């Protein structure tokens, strides 16, 4: 039998390695920007076209490379970041994987221009699919410029599985922001399709957050500062009232490296307990400094998951630091058990003087004396006392205490009236009195329970319907059925405005037409979204809140490319516009939801895949009384 194990050619091995490093255009951006940071750049410019499919260009003013280093950078397992295995556990740099440049060049057309600051000429290398096409000395600016074109040109299957240009752009934007937030001292620019998205000057962390998310963020930020022997925590959290439905503004950094951690995220949310409603998430920007030997950054290929030696202790420190910040800046409600609330009187107005209270007391008043009120059907003073609004209507009378217990009996009769000469029957003999037609005959009208569920009868028992999920299903089917047909709109008396984040501009533009088809009349002017009209079915609601809720729901769903934008917007709009639990419904509204639900495409399941109806049969009910 002949030997079957063979060494792979270098270009195939590079393509396999590229699959681990270069998953999408955002992966290229991450690797190249991190290399610029490690090169000591104070200015980094990112240029992207068509979501990174056509062009990704990084220009920096870092240290640059010599001609030999420029050539070596395209070789596999070549790096300047580590020299021995122990260096992997004491990393002070970002990019350290030697196969990064080689992997990128294996699946794209790469042009590299670089020059050392003390040299007059630089070097240009053209690499296509791991093949060096040319290398020559050229005029170049100090630093490095790398252009990556036609990504995955030689792997059509990988290129076909990329998302839309908008989806890939959002992924690139995420990577850009993660680096920009952890290096506020470095100036960044970001251009997409010749449009300037960001121009960030090198300033402090608070200014960097405001540059990215807008001036409104400045008043929302609460500083966090905690230093222990185990970890140092700095950064900012956001006031609870500005929590969002999406988690896109939640950032952890350790030793200037972004990472994700559900366990630590739970520590932050736990610190906000009681301050943030369910389903909302407070933005935060937390920076950890720990000894490099106490973490392992090689847990995940993309280095976004990091293992901590003392994760339980760090959890407690994070929770304590966030709680302390909320309390220190009077964000969390506090109880002062030493304060006497009865002395909390409002301050006097200008010119107002304190007046002694005037109290009228009747020294002859006896509450147990009968009162004779002409024209009254009440024969006891206690009964008339109960009906009076105060002591001023009671006239004092002299007498004795003989009628006291008689008056108590009279009050009992008033609270539980029975006809004269009629004996009081025990409860067991009065069951027939409550078995009226509503209970004997099948109920025709639905009933609301706890302002959340709709109960309606069927021949076999009754149904319990979740009103919010049912309304979601109804609205979702209506929007899908309308497709591109424009829903009737209601003009607003005054145009309302929403200020949107720069990071959300592309996402808003992506769904603007869909929202207008729903009946909104929206126009975006830079970072201002103008609302001139709304669908007729939400004219009495807050259009700004509805739109923001639609958008937050959309952002939580838009990561999937498996369904169309129209379906995502329909799902988001249905979730935002549906009648939520806690809203009281009229009989007509309950009947509409019940009838429309059973006429929908899937009455049992909501658009989110949750159960809508719970059935209770007569047999099940009977068993509960056995």
- Same domain, residue pair 111 and 232: no
Nearest 5°: the CA angle 155, 156, 159 is 95
Per DSSP, the three-state class of 337 is coil
pLDDT at 181 over 90: yes
Instruction: Give the C-alpha separation, 211 to 218, whole Å.
Output: 10
Return the number of other C-beta atoms located less than 10 Å from residue 237's C-beta: 24
CATH (domain of 552): 3.30.1370.100
- Same domain, residue pair 273 and 301: yes
What was the pLDDT predicted at 4? 73
Min mean pLDDT across 168-182, 249-263, 482-496 is at: 482-496
- Same domain, residue pair 187 and 315: no
What was the pLDDT predicted at 404? 46
Helix (H), strand (E) at residue 167 = helix 165-182
What was the pLDDT predicted at 284? 95
Instruction: Give the C-alpha separation, 426 to 572, whole Å.
Output: 56
- Looking at the domain assignment, is residue 390 inside a domain? no
Kindly give the interhelix angle for 565-577 and 467-482, rounded to the nearest 10 degrees: 140
- Looking at the domain assignment, is residue 375 inside a domain? no
Place 309 in a pLDDT band, splitting at 50, 70 and 90: confident
| Mean pLDDT value across residues 585-592 | 88
- Last residue of some domain: 312, 328, 344? 328
- Same domain, residue pair 186 and 224: no
- Looking at the domain assignment, is residue 398 inside a domain? no
Q: Which domain holds residue 481?
A: 453-615
φ/ψ of residue 284, rounded to 5: -155, 155
Buried-state track 296-334, b at ≥16 Cβ within 10 A, e below 16 = ebeeeeebbebebeeeeebbebbbebbbebbeeeebbee
- Looking at the domain assignment, is residue 145 inside a domain? yes
- Looking at the domain assignment, is residue 536 inside a domain? yes
φ/ψ of residue 593, rounded to 5: -65, -40
- Last residue of some domain: 267, 296, 328? 328
Min mean pLDDT across 30-34, 77-81, 186-190, 281-285 is at: 77-81
Place 420 in a pLDDT band, splitting at 50, 70 and 90: very low
Instruction: Give the C-alpha separation, 289 to 280, whole Å.
Output: 28
Q: How many Cα atoms occupy the beta-carbon half-sphere of 197 within 13 Å?
A: 25
Instruction: Give the C-alpha separation, 40 to 80, whole Å.
Output: 13
Q: Strand 489-499 vs strand 221-227: parallel, antiparallel, or unpaired?
A: unpaired
Give the chain's mean pLDDT.
79
- Same domain, residue pair 499 and 545: yes
Min mean pLDDT across 367-376, 407-416, 583-592 is at: 407-416
Tokens 């950064």, located at residue:
235
Tokens 């959340």, located at residue:
452
CATH (domain of 126): 3.30.565.10
- Same domain, residue pair 156 and 240: no
What was the pLDDT predicted at 558? 65
- Same domain, residue pair 132 and 46: yes
pLDDT at 70 over 80: yes
- Same domain, residue pair 135 and 228: no
Per DSSP, the three-state class of 146 is strand
Instruction: Give the C-alpha separation, 240 to 232, whole Å.
Output: 23
What was the pLDDT predicted at 298? 67
Kindly give the interhelix angle for 25-38 and 165-182, rounded to the nearest 10 degrees: 20
CATH (domain of 304): 3.30.230.10
pLDDT at 83 over 70: no
Task: Report in angstroms the alpha-carbon separations of 325 from 228, 230, 333, 462, 522.
Answer: 16, 19, 13, 51, 39
φ/ψ of residue 383, rounded to 5: -65, -40
Residues 28/148, Cβ–Cβ less than 8 Å: yes
**How is residue 366 written in tokens?**
């006896």
- Looking at the domain assignment, is residue 457 inside a domain? yes
- Same domain, residue pair 252 and 148: no
- Same domain, residue pair 55 and 190: yes
| Mean pLDDT value across residues 216-242 | 92
pLDDT at 185 over 60: yes
Total domains in the chain come to 3
What was the pLDDT predicted at 367? 66
- Last residue of some domain: 328, 345, 376? 328
- Looking at the domain assignment, is residue 387 inside a domain? no
| Mean pLDDT value across residues 284-304 | 81
For the CA atoms of 253, 255, 259, 261, the dihedral, rounded to the nearest 10 degrees, stands at -80
pLDDT at 499 over 70: yes
- Same domain, residue pair 20 and 168: yes
What was the pLDDT predicted at 158? 83
Nearest to 51 by CA among 139, 119, 151: 151
Q: Which has the higher per-residue pLDDT, 176 or 573?
A: 176
3-state helix, strand, coil in the chain (%, to 5): 40, 20, 40
Residues 65/124, Cβ–Cβ less than 8 Å: no
pTM above 0.75, yes or no: no
Residues 290/254, Cβ–Cβ less than 8 Å: yes
- Same domain, residue pair 133 and 243: no
DSSP string, 542-569: -HHHHHHHHHHHHHHHTT--SS-HHHHH
Min mean pLDDT across 22-31, 251-260, 367-376, 443-452 is at: 367-376
Residues 189/199, Cβ–Cβ less than 8 Å: yes
- Looking at the domain assignment, is residue 475 inside a domain? yes
Tokens 């009076």, located at residue:
388
Residues in the chain: 626
Q: Which has the higher per-residue pLDDT, 590 or 91?
A: 590
Tokens 């790096």, located at residue:
79
């Amino acid at each position: 039998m002949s030997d079957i194990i063979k060494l792979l050619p270098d270009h195939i091995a590079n393509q396999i390695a590229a699959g681990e490093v270069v998953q999408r255009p955002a992966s290229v951006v991450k690797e190249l920007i991190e290399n610029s940071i490690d090169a000591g750049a104070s200015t980094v410019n990112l240029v992207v076209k068509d979501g990174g499919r056509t062009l990704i260009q990084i220009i920096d003013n870092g240290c640059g490379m010599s001609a030999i280093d420029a050539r070596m950078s395209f070789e596999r397992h070549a790096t300047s970041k580590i020299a021995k295995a122990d260096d992997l556990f004491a990393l002070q740099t970002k990019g350290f994987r030697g196969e990064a440049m080689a992997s990128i060049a294996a699946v794209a057309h790469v042009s590299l221009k670089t020059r050392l600051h003390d040299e007059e000429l630089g070097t240009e290398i053209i690499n296509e699919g791991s093949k060096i096409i040319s290398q020559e000395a050229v005029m170049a600016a100090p630093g490095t410029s790398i252009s990556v074109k036609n990504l995955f040109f030689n792997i059509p299957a990988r290129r076909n599985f990329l998302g839309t240009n908008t989806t890939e752009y959002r992924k690139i934007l995420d990577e850009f922001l993660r680096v920009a937030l952890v290096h506020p001292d470095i100036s960044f620019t970001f251009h997409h399709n010749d449009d300037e998205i960001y121009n960030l000057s090198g300033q402090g962390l608070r200014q960097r957050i405001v540059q990215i998310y807008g001036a409104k963020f400045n008043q929302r930020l609460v500083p966090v500062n905690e230093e222990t022997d185990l970890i140092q925590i700095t950064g900012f959290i956001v006031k609870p009232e500005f929590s969002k439905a999406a988690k896109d503004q939640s950032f952890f950094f350790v030793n200037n490296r972004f990472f994700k951690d559900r366990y630590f995220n739970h520590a932050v949310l736990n610190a906000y307990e009681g301050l943030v409603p369910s389903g909302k998430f407070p933005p935060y920007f937390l920076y950890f400094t720990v000894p490099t030997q106490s973490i392992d950054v090689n847990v995940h290929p993309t280095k976004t998951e990091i293992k901590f030696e003392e994760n339980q202790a760090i959890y407690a420190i994070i929770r304590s630091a966030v709680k302390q910040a909320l309390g220190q800046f009077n964000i969390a409600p506090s109880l002062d058990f030493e304060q006497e609330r009865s002395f909390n009187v409002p301050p006097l107005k200008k010119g107002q003087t304190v007046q002694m209270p005037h109290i009228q007391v009747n020294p002859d008043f006896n509450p147990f004396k009968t009162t004779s009120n002409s024209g009254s059907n009440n024969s006891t003073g206690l009964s008339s006392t109960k009906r009076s609004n105060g002591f001023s209507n009671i006239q004092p009378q002299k007498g004795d205490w003989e009628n006291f217990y008689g008056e108590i009996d009279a009050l009992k009769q008033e609270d539980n009236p029975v006809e004269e000469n009629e004996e009081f029957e025990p409860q067991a003999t009065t069951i027939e009195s409550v078995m009226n037609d509503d209970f004997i005959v099948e109920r025709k009208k639905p009933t609301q329970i706890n302002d959340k569920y709709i109960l309606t009868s069927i021949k076999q028992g009754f149904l319990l319907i979740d009103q919010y999920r049912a309304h979601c299903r109804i609205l979702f089917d209506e929007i899908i059925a309308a497709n591109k047909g424009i829903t009737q709109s209601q003009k607003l008396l005054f145009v309302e405005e929403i200020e949107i984040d720069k990071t959300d501009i592309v996402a808003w533009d992506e769904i603007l037409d869909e929202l207008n088809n729903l009946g909104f009349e929206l126009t975006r002017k830079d970072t201002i979204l103008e609302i001139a009209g709304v669908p007729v079915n939400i004219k009495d609601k807050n259009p700004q809140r509805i739109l923001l809720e639609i958008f937050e729901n959309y952002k939580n769903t838009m990561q999937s490319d498996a369904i169309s934008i129209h379906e995502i917007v329909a799902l988001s709009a249905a979730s935002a516009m549906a009648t939520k639990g806690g809203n009281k419904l009229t009989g007509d509204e309950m009947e509409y939801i019940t009838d429309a639900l059973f006429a929908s495409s899937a009455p049992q399941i909501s658009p989110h895949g949750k159960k809508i109806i719970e059935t209770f049969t007569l047999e099940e009910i009977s068993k509960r009384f056995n």
